[in-house]
Structure 1
Amino acid sequence: MPELSVVITVMNEEENIGPLIQEIRKSLPGLDYEVIFVDDGSEDQTRQQIVAHADERIKLVELRKNYGQSTAMTAGIDHATGDYIALLDGDLQNDPADIPSMLQKLKDEDWDVVAGNRANRQDGMFLRKIPSKIANALIRRMTGVYIKDYGCTLKIFRREIAEDLGLYGELHRFIPVLAKLQGARITQVDVRHHARMFGKSKYGLNRTFKVISDLILMVFFRKYIQKPMHLFGSIGFVSLFLGVLINLYLLVLKLMGHDIWGKPLLILGLILLLGGVQLITLGILAEVNVRTYFESQNKKTYQVRKIFNGREYVKPVTVGN
């Protein structure tokens, strides 16, 4: 098995394939590596270019249609065999020459993930850089995972971390958060970034609302995935308490002979009362689902990074419940 697997997701990047493979060969001469290209439904000559430039180190995983970058990354990780896995963009904006130093840092300093930070980003200011800075700041603030550049694809993982990321939908931007949920130790290093030479970017401002939706999901995963009752129950009990207070106040008014029917306060009290009951019930059901998720799949609510056996550190063996 190779030491390093480089996973590259591509869609309609035919002009970039040849130069990218040349750069990889030039940048990784001293490493035992493989390259996993995942074609995510290309409609040009991308697949043919990969095959034309392939050697024994290069593998092509061709998906049946365009599933999106997160799913394509998952497919690449599933087919990788290396002890370490690097993610790399297929548009030549990431530089493969940064991979050896990142891998060395991960091994020497015992990190689980080394993430790239595009120090001198070569993209448009108003459509790419400014929205990205705002998004990065918002994600850091809401998740508590302090990575400067969430949008940089270039990252290197230990295999066990990459395999358990759980990349669904379009969660690739939140990879550091998903890794942190596993207890991964993450660091970041400045990496080079080049202007796109060929093809068109697949990103635009239209993904803003998707990012916000996924961010809400990540906040829930980060804080409440194992204790959903703490979220729904807390909100539910506050709502229930306010609803009871309002309705008691209205009951007193009714007993004093006042007409309370049709008052907005009565409607608000009923909404808060019923909403509180529903949220508490939802929290209980969510707790049941969490237990079903972990127990039905023999999943643990924790992960052991490594074990010292008295002589040396060893990788933990998966055990049943």
Structure 2
Amino acid sequence: MKKLSLVICVYNEEENIIPLSEQIVDSLNDYDFEAIFVDDGSTDQTRKRILSIPDDRFIMVQLRKNYGQSSALAAGIAQAEGEYVVTLDGDLQNDPSDIPAMLKLAEDEDWDLVAGIRAKRQDGMFLRLIPSKIANFFIRKYTGVKMKDYGCTLKVYKQEIAKDLGLYGELHRFIPVLASLEGATITQMPVKHHARQFGKSKYNLNRTFKVVSDLMLMVFMKKYMQKPMHIFGGYGIAMMIIGGLINVYLLVLKLMGQDIWGKPLLILGLLLMVAGIQIITIGIVSEIQVRTYFESQNKTPFKVRRVVKTSDKYEFSKGAC
């Protein structure tokens, strides 16, 4: 098995391919590695530049069209064979020279995921830095995964964690949360960050707004993936109780001879009752789907890190003495 598999997603990065490949070779020549360029439907000379790299450790995975970064990462990770998987950007903003130190940290302290923190970011203040800091704050607050920099692509994973991430849509921003769902141990370390020299950034403010909807999904997956009835049932029962109390109050008014027809309170009570029943029903269906998800794929709702026999532990202690 190779030591490292680098996964680099590229889209119209023709001028960056050769300099990046040279940086990778200079930084990792002492390691048994493979570098997987995932061409995400480029329309320039990116593929031609990848194929011109005179090193058989470099591989190109060509996608049929532009699927987006999450799908491209998933395609590259599926191809990876290394004991550790490294993801980095293809625009020369990440520095491959940081990888050896990140790998050493992962090995020495047995971390499942080592993520980079971009020191002295070379991005625009209003279009990149401020939106990024706001997004990082909300992700930390609502998912409980305490990361300083969610947006840094440079990360080192153990292979089993990378393979189980389940990247869909645009969830690459939430890789630490997805890894946390798999029971991964996560740490961060500062890494270098360079200004883009060639090509055009693919980032725009629309991505910032998409974070909000994806964050709602991550919060649900983090807290209620295995117990959806706890959220749907709780809200559904609360709405039914409030609706029931309103309807009982209106019934008492009716028995006292008052006209309750057409009152907004009557409509509210009925809506709360119906909505409560619907939400509880969604919770029941979600519970059934959770069971189908785990049982149909022989998945388990837990992850075992290791199993140690007490006899092995005794022999180790005895040998240490």
Q: TM-score, normalised by structure 1?
A: 0.96
Task: Return the offset for 1:311.
Answer: 7.9
Question: Percent identity among equivalent residues?
Answer: 66
Task: Return the offset for 1:2.
Answer: 1.1
Shift of the 81–310 alpha-carbon distance from structure 1 to 2, 3 Å rule, reads: farther
For residues 24 and 249 of structure 2, the distance between their equivalents in structure 1, rounded to whole angstroms, comes to: 72
For residues 102 and 307 of structure 2, the distance between their equivalents in structure 1, rounded to whole angstroms, comes to: 25
The CA deviation string for residues 117-138 of structure 1, in whole angstroms up to 9 with x for no partner, is 0011000001000000000001
For residues 275 and 294 of structure 2, the distance between their equivalents in structure 1, rounded to whole angstroms, comes to: 29
Output the amino acid matched with 2:233.
G
Equivalent positions of 1:1-321 (< 5 A) are 1-309=1-309
Gapped regions of structure 2 (runs ≥ 5): 314-321
Q: What is the aligned length?
A: 313
Output the amino acid matched with 2:256.
M
For residues 121 and 53 of structure 1, the distance between their equivalents in structure 2, rounded to whole angstroms, comes to: 29
Task: Return the offset for 1:29.
Answer: 1.9
For residues 120 and 272 of structure 1, the distance between their equivalents in structure 2, rounded to whole angstroms, comes to: 51
For residues 137 and 302 of structure 2, the distance between their equivalents in structure 1, rounded to whole angstroms, comes to: 29
Report SS of the residue matched to 1:121: coil
For residues 281 and 150 of structure 1, the distance between their equivalents in structure 2, rounded to whole angstroms, comes to: 35
Task: Return the offset for 1:22.
Answer: 0.6
Gapped regions of structure 1 (runs ≥ 5): 314-321
For residues 41 and 55 of structure 1, the distance between their equivalents in structure 2, rounded to whole angstroms, comes to: 23
Output the amino acid matched with 2:35.
V
The CA deviation string for residues 14-51 of structure 1, in whole angstroms up to 9 with x for no partner, is 00001000100111121111101100000000000001
For residues 175 and 246 of structure 1, the distance between their equivalents in structure 2, rounded to whole angstroms, comes to: 45
Output the amino acid matched with 1:142.
Y
Q: CA RMSD in A?
A: 1.1
Report SS of the residue matched to 1:116: strand
For residues 17 and 54 of structure 1, the distance between their equivalents in structure 2, rounded to whole angstroms, comes to: 12
Task: Return the offset for 1:306.
Answer: 2.4
Task: Return the offset for 1:225.
Answer: 0.3
Shift of the 202–227 alpha-carbon distance from structure 1 to 2, 3 Å rule, reads: same
Report SS of the residue matched to 2:16: helix
Output the amino acid matched with 2:79.
H
Task: Return the offset for 1:209.
Answer: 2.3
For residues 30 and 101 of structure 2, the distance between their equivalents in structure 1, rounded to whole angstroms, comes to: 12
For residues 58 and 309 of structure 2, the distance between their equivalents in structure 1, rounded to whole angstroms, comes to: 38
Residue 316 (structure 2) aligns with? none
